[in-house]
C-alpha cells in the first residue's frame, strides 16, 4: 500500500542532488522490514513512497522478536560465526549471496555479475539486523542511501561483548589518565563471560560470600533464560542440567552466558523495581555524533520487591514480556511511566539538583559505552543506529547500565506508548533529514537533543546555571525526561532553517 505521489512544497523545484547527497526533486523511496509503528510513520510521511511491487518483509529471514512486539537484545547475527549457530538464511528477497561489491558500478550494469535487486531502488531502508548481516558485506550503496544498523552493532548490543569493550576502555583510561578517571566507568555491575571466565568468576564469588548474582544468556532477549542465585551449587546443577543439553544441535560449544552481580538495592517506587528505557541515536561513529531523546519510559515490575524470593521473575525482571504474564497484571494500567513522570517524581522527592546529577550519570553511560566501541564499529556514512538503553537506578539514585538494544521494541503497548514511538521515529527521520529541510547545525530536532559531536555539546548560551562557587557555567545539551514540545519546536525549526537557507 503506497502513499500518493504528491510532493510537498519544500521538495518542489529543487535540483536532483544537493551537496549532501540528498534527493530534492522527487519522492523518497523507502523499504521497511518491520510491521509496526515504524511502518505507520514511513507511510504517513509526506513525500515518502514505499518501494512498489516488492515484499518489504524479507520472506526467508527468521522472525525478529521485535516484529512480534517484543523486546530483544542485539543478538549477534548468526553468520558472524560467534554465536555458534549455523546460518540457514541464504539470501532474502533482495539479497543475493555472491554479489560483487563494486562502488563504481550501479546495480546490474556489469554483465555476468549477479544483480542485487532493489539496491538502487530505495533511498531509505529500515531493515532488520539479520538482513543487514546477510547483505551488507556485498552491498553497494549510493551516496545518498540511508540504512538502519551498523554492520557490527553487536559489539555493543551483545551482553558479553558490551562488557568486554567497556572493561577494555576502562583499563586504557586508567593507564593513560589514572585510576580516578577510571571510576567514571563504574556504571556496569561486575560481569564475567561464561564459560570462558568461569574460574575468575569463582574466585570473585568466593571473595563475596552471600551476595546475589544474575545469570543471563548473552544473546537472548525478553528475560529468557535468566535466573538469580546465591550459591555456587545452583550453577553447578545448571551447568550439568540446562546448560549441557544444548538447545541448538548445530552448536558445538556451550551457549555463552554472562554472570553479573545483581543490584540488590534498586530504587523502588511504590515498593516496586523499575528500569528506564532511554533512546539514543548515533548518526556517525567517526566523528562520534550522538542524539539523546527526551522521552522514554520506566518499566515497573508488577510485584513488590523483596530479596526473599530470588527465583520469582515477576519481582526481579522488569521486562514487559515477563511482567505481562504476571497473575495480577492489569493490561489497562500496564506497568509503565513516562520518563517525564519519573523525573518529576524524583525531583519532588529528592530535589532538582540530585536528579540532575543522576541524569548526568546516564549521559556518562551513553558516551562512555559508545566510545568503548568507537574504533571497532565499522563506520559507514550510510548507516545509523537507534539504540534502546536499559538503565536501572539504585537506592542512591546511581544509574547502572543493564544492556543496550539495537532493535528496541517499536510496537506500541497502548495509546501513550504509540504516541511516544510515533513521535520518536518521525524525529529520527527529521534528524536524518533526507528531505534536506534543515541546516545541519541544529542542536535540537523535535525530541532529540544533540549530546555529543566529537565532544560534548553545551546548551545554548541562554541556558546558564549557577555553580556552587558562584560562577556560571553552560549546561550540557541533555534534557532526558524534560518537557518534549516536539511539534512546536519542529514548526519553529523548519521556519528558521528555511529563512537561513534562503539568505
Q: Which residues bind ligand ADP (CB under 6 A)?
A: 73, 189, 214, 216, 220-224, 226, 260, 262-263, 275, 317-319, 390, 392, 402-403
Residue 293 and residue 447 in contact, taking contact as beta carbons nearer than 8 Å:
yes
Compute the Cα dihedral for 225, 230, 234, 235 and give only its sign.
Answer: positive
C-alpha cell read off for 77 = 547475527
Nearest to 495 by CA among 10, 25, 18, 27: 10
Which residue in 371, 319, 339 sits closest to 447, CA to CA? 339
Task: CB nearer to ligand ADP: give 263 or 425.
Answer: 263
Q: From CA 320, how far away is CA 222, in angstroms rounded?
A: 8
Kindly tell me which of 147 and 226 has the beta carbon lying closer to ligand ADP: 226
Give 73 or 413: the residue with its C-beta nearer to ligand ADP: 73
Shortest Cβ distance from residue 243 to ligand ADP (Å)? 17
CB of 69 to ligand ADP, least distance (A): 14
Nearest to ligand ADP of 79, 191 (CB atom): 191
| Residue with Cβ nearer ligand ADP (211 or 473) | 211
Q: How far is the CB of 225 from ligand ADP (least distance, A)?
A: 7
Cα(400)–Cα(382) distance, rounded to whole angstroms?
A: 31
CA gyration radius for the chain? 23
- In DSSP terms, which residues pair with 403 in a beta bridge? 390
Cα–Cα distance, 438 to 494 (Å, whole number): 7
Q: Helices 415-432 and 37-44: crossing angle, nearest 10°?
A: 50
- By beta-carbon proximity to ligand ADP, the closer residue of 259 and 493 is 259
Residue 173 or 260 with smaller CB distance to ligand ADP: 260
CB of 320 to ligand ADP, least distance (A): 9
Pick between residue 308 and residue 461 the one whose CB is nearest to ligand ADP.
308
Minimum distance between the CB of residue 219 and ligand ADP, rounded to whole angstroms? 9
Report whether 36 contacts 56 (CB < 8 A): no
Pairing of strands 28-32, 124-126: parallel
Query: Taking the complex as a whole, how short is the minimal distance between the CB of residue 260 and ligand ADP, in angstroms?
Result: 4
Place of cell 524479507: 58
Rounded to whole angstroms, how far apart are CA atoms 80 and 86? 9
Q: Least distance to ligand ADP from the beta carbon of 253, Å?
A: 21
Residue pointed to by grid coordinates 526473599:
308
Give the phi and the psi of residue 14 in degrees, each rounded to 5. -105, 165
Amino acid at each position: 500500500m503506497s502513499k500518493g505521489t504528491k510532493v510537498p512544497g519544500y521538495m518542489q523545484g529543487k535540483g536532483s542532488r544537493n551537496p549532501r547527497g540528498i534527493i530534492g526533486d522527487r519522492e523518497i523511496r523507502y523499504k521497511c522490514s518491520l510491521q509496526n509503528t515504524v511502518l505507520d510513520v514511513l507511510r504517513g510521511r509526506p513525500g515518502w513512497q514505499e518501494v512498489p511491487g516488492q515484499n518489504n518483509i524479507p520472506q526467508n529471514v527468521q522472525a525478529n522478536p521485535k516484529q512480534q512486539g517484543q523486546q530483544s537484545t542485539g543478538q549477534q547475527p548468526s553468520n558472524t560465526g560467534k554465536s555458534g549457530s549455523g546460518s540457514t538464511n541464504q539470501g532474502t528477497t533482495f539479497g543475493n549471496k555472491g554479489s560483487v561489491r563494486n562502488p563504481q558500478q550501479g546495480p546490474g550494469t556489469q554483465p555476468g555479475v549477479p544483480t542485487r535487486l532493489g539496491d538502487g531502488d530505495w533511498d531509505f531502508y529500515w531493515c532488520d539486523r539479520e538482513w543487514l548481516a546477510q547483505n551488507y558485506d556485498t552491498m553497494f550503496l549510493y551516496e545518498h542511501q540511508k540504512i538502519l544498523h551498523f554492520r557490527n552493532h553487536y559489539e555493543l548490543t551483545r551482553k558479553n561483548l558490551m562488557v568486554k569493550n567497556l572493561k577494555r576502555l576502562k583499563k586504557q583510561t586508567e593507564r593513560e589518565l589514572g585510576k580516578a578517571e577510571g571510576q567514571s566507568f563504574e556504571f556496569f555491575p561486575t560481569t564475567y563471560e561464561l564459560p570462558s571466565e568461569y574460574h575468575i568468576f569463582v574466585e570473585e564469588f568466593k571473595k563475596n560470600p552471600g551476595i546475589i548474582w544474575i545469570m543471563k544468556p548473552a544473546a537472548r532477549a525478553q528475560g529468557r533464560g535468566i535466573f538469580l542465585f546465591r550459591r555456587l551449587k545452583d550453577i553447578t546443577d545448571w551447568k550439568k542440567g540446562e546448560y549441557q543439553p544444548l538447545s541448538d544441535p548445530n552448536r558445538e560449544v556451550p551457549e555463552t552466558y554472562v554472570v553479573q552481580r545483581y543490584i540488590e538495592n534498586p530504587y523502588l517506587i511504590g515498593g516496586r523495581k523499575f528500569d528506564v528505557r532511554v533512546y539514543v541515536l548515533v548518526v556517525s561513529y567517526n566523528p562520534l555524533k550522538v542524539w539523546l531523546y527526551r522521552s522514554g519510559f520506566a518499566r515497573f515490575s508488577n510485584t513488590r520487591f523483596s530479596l526473599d524470593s530470588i527465583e520469582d521473575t515477576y519481582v526481579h525482571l522488569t521486562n514487559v514480556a515477563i511482567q505481562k504474564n504476571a497473575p495480577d497484571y492489569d493490561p489497562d494500567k500496564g506497568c509503565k511511566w513516562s520518563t517525564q513522570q519519573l523525573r518529576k517524581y524524583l525531583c519532588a522527592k529528592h530535589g532538582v539538583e540530585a536528579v540532575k546529577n543522576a541524569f548526568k550519570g546516564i549521559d556518562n553511560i551513553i558516551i562512555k559505552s559508545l566510545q568503548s566501541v568507537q574504533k571497532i564499529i565499522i563506520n559507514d556514512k550510510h548507516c545509523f543506529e537507534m539504540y534502546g538503553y536499559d538503565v536501572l537506578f539504585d537506592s542512591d539514585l546511581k544509574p547502572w547500565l543493564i544492556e543496550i538494544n539495537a532493535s528496541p521494541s517499536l510496537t506500541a503497548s497502548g495509546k501513550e506508548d504509540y504516541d511516544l514511538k510515533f513521535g520518536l521515529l518521525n524525529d529520527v527521520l527529521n534528524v536524518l533529514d533526507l528531505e534536506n529541510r534543515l541546516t545541519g547545525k541544529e542542536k535540537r530536532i523535535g525530541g532529540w537533543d544533540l549530546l555529543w559531536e566529537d565532544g560534548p555539546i553545551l546548551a545554548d548560551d541562554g541556558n546558564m546555571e549557577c555553580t556552587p562557587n558562584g560562577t556560571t557555567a553552560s549546561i550540557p545539551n541533555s534534557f532526558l525526561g524534560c518537557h518534549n514540545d516536539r511539534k512546536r519546536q519542529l514548526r519553529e525549526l523548519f521556519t528558521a532553517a528555511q529563512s537561513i537557507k534562503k539568505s
